[in-house]
Structure 1
Amino acid sequence: MTASNVGTANAENVTVSYEVPPGVTVVSVPDGCVYDATAATITCAPIPNFGRGATTNYNFVFKAPDTPISLTGVARISTTSAEPNTGNNSAAATTTVAIGAPDPNPPTDPNTGLPLIPLIPNPTPNPTPNPTPLIPSVIGTTLQVTPPTNNRNGTETVQFTVTITNTGTQPLRDLQAIIDLVRTFSGVQGFVVVSIDSSDFVINPAFNGTDLQNLLGASNVLNPGATGRITFRVQVTPGFNTGPYFASVTVQGTDPTGTVVSDVSTDGTIADVNGNGTTSDDNTPTIIQFTGLPNIRLVKRMTNAFRNGVIVPGINFNTLINDASDVNDDAPGWANLSPLGLVRIGETGLLQSGDQLEYTVYFLSDGTGNADDFRFCDPTPAGASFLGDTYGAGLGSLLRLEGVETPQTNALDADAGRFIPPLTPAPSPCPSPNNPNGAVYMQIPRVSNRSPNNVGFVRFRVLIQ
C-alpha cells in the first residue's frame, strides 16, 4: 500500500489503516502497525508531519483461503491539518483480488512423485514508514521607517513597518514580533506608541515597547510562502539627542515539529539581502535620525571704533552688557563665546564723521536640532556706508563658524557671505527688499546645535558719514 501527500502543504498527524477482507489470515504487518482481529483492521502509527510531495509504502502479508473467493480490502488515510476543503483531509482506495481453485494437476517431484512445495524466501522485515524529509523552516523579516515627522512641539513621529515572510515549506504557528523601544531610543527624553495596525495578523493592542514588547497577539499563523506586515507609529521627544538611533525587530514562529525558528530584521525590503538562501546573516539595523527644532539667537554689539587707522580712545568695548530689553543675551549657551561689546555709545562726541565703527553680530544655535540653511541679513544703518575692504581687497566681512574665522567676499560666490549694494533687491530675511543702504548677507549651510560649535559671529565695519 502506498500513501502520498499530493497537496500544496505539509500534513500533520496522518493516519493510515487497511480494512482486511474476510476470509484471509494476516501473516505480518509493518513495524508500527497493529492488527485488530475483532475490527478486522490494520492501523498504523500516525505520521506527525507528512511533507508536501512525500510518499511512503506499507507491505502487508496475507494468507488466502484454499477455496475460490473474491477478496475486497479498503485502505484509508486521513490528517488533522486544517484545510478549508475538508475533502482533501482524507482518502480511501479499494482493491479486489480473485482467488481461483487449487490446481488439479500440481507439478510433482520426478524422483518421488510427490507435489512440489514452492519455496518462499524469508520475508524481508518491513521498515518503519519514513516520510520524505521536510525542508527546514525559514523565516525572514525586514524593518523600514519613514523619515520622522517634526510636530513642531519638541516631538517627532516615526512610522515603523515590519515585514515577515515564511520562506519555508511548513506553516509557522504562534508567530511573534518583538521590539525593545527602550533600548532603541536610549537617550531620548521620552516616547509613546501612538498606534499599531496590521491587516495580516492579530496585533497586540497593549504593545508599548517598554514592558510589553510583543507586537502580535496569540494564535497567528503564517503559511509557506506567505508575507504579512505590521505598522506602528511612535511619538518621540528626542531633546538634544537627535540620533542616530538603531532599531531591530526579532520575529519567531513554531513549525509543525515543534521547532522554534527566528530571525532578526534587516533594513530595507529584502530579507535575504545576499541571496544565499538564509536570512540569519542579514541583520543590518534600521537607522532613525530625528531633526529636532532649530533655534537661533542673535545679539548685535558695537565692538570697536577706529580713527585714522587707530582705535578711538576712551571707549571700553571689552565689556559684557546685559540688555534688559533682549532675552537672547541671557541664554546659557553664550558661555562658549561671550557677546562682548556695547549696545550704545552714550557719551556725545566720542565718535565723529570719518570714523570707522565695527559691528559684531553674535549667533547662538541652541535648539534641539541643527540650524540648517541659516540666512542672516544686517542692513547698513542710515548715516553710514559699508567698508568693503576691511579684511582684504574685496573682503568686507568676517565669519566665525565652528571656531574658525574666515574673511568673506563681497560678491555672490562660493563662500557664505556677500554685500548687497544699495538699491539692489535683497532677499529674505532682509527687512526691506528695496535695500536703501545696502546689507551684509550670509547663507550658512548648517550651524550645529552641539557645543562648542553652536556659537559664532559675523563682523564688519561701516564708515560714519
Structure 2
Amino acid sequence: MPALNITKAFDPSSIAGGQISRLTITVQNRQISGDLGGPLSNIRFTDALPANIRVAGTPNATTTCTNGVFNPVLVGGETSFTLQGFDLPFNTSCTAAINVIANIQGTYVNTIPVANVEATLQTSIGGGKTTSNGPATATLDVTSTVLPPEVILVKRITRINNTDITGFVDGPGTEDNDARWPNPTTDSLRGAISQTNVRPQDEVEYTIYYLNRGQSSAGGLRICDPIPANTSYVASAFNGSTPTDGGLPADLGIALQTGTTVGDRRFLTGVNDAPDRGRYYDPALGEVPAATGSERCADPNNPSASLTSNPNGIVAVNVTRTTGTPTFPLVPNATGAGNPPTSYGFVRFRVRVR
C-alpha cells in the first residue's frame, strides 16, 4: 500500500487576472505506530502547473519539510517545480508553498499525479520505493484576463569626455532588434557596446534605453545600474541643465527621458529628495537599496533576489511616479515603432575612470 498522502490547495482559490495565489502542497507519511510505522526518506515530488499559470516574479518559496530543497532553485516564470531530499517520520506531515500568478481568465485544475511522487521505505521492510495513495488536485479560478507588460533594456556607451558616440550597434541579443523601437535606431539606440580607447580620468556616459513591448501598461518601473568597478559616479554631470525633477537644483547626475522627444527629458539628483525620481547609493556612506518594496533593486545576476551589497555605487531611477510634476504613473505598451511615444525612454549617467 502506498505510504504517502499528498494534498494541495490554492489560497485564495479565486483571483483576478494578474493577482497572486499561494499554492500549498502537504505531504503526509500515512504509516502509523504499530503498523510497520517508520520514517520515509528521499521524498520528492514534481508539480507541473497548468497552462497559463506560472511561478510569480517573487516566488516566496518556503517549506517545513526538513532538508527539503527546491531543485532547481525557483525563479519567476517557471511552469513546474520539484521539492526533494526530505524525510518524514511516521504519522507526520510537512508542507511546501510558493506564489503563483495567472493572467488569462479560466478554471485551472492543477494535479500532481502518482507518477510524480516518490519515497524510500524504511529498511525494516525492505527499503523499496513507495508513492502516494492517489493524485493531489486543486482548482484555481481566474475571473478576468490581464495581459502582462514586458519592459526590455538596452545599454550603450553614448559619450566619451565631450564627444558623443553616434550610430547603432547590433548587440548579440535580440532586444535591440525589436521592431517597436522608435525609428531610426541610430537615434533611439545610439551608442557603442564597448570602447577600447578609454584612459584614467576620462568621463564615460552610459545610457540605458527601455521599451515596453508587452501587452499592457507597466507601472512601478524602476531601473537600477551598479557603477562599474574602477570608476566613480559624476554627481554634477548635468548641473545647470533644465528642467529638473522636483528636487534640489544641484547634484544633477542623472538624465531621465520618458518619451521620444527632448521635451520628455528631466534632470535628476542623486540625493534622496523625493519627488525627484533619481537616487545614487553611495558606497562611501554604506548606502544600499531597500531589500523589498518600491525602493528595491534587483540583482542583475539573479533578478528574483535583491542587491544587498554596494561596492562601487548604484544609480537607481523610479521611471514612473504618481506624485510630483509631471506625474507619469504608467509606461504604455508599444503598438508600433515609437507608438505611443512614451512607451520608450532612457536613463543616463556618467562616470570617471580612476
Q: Identify the TM-score tier after normalising by the shorter chain.
A: 0.3 to 0.5
Question: What's the TM-score, normalizing by structure 1?
Answer: 0.36
Larger-gyration structure (1/2): 1
Q: Whose relative contact order is higher, 1 or 2, with alpha carbons under 8 Å and at least 6 apart?
A: 2
Question: What's the TM-score, normalizing by structure 2?
Answer: 0.47
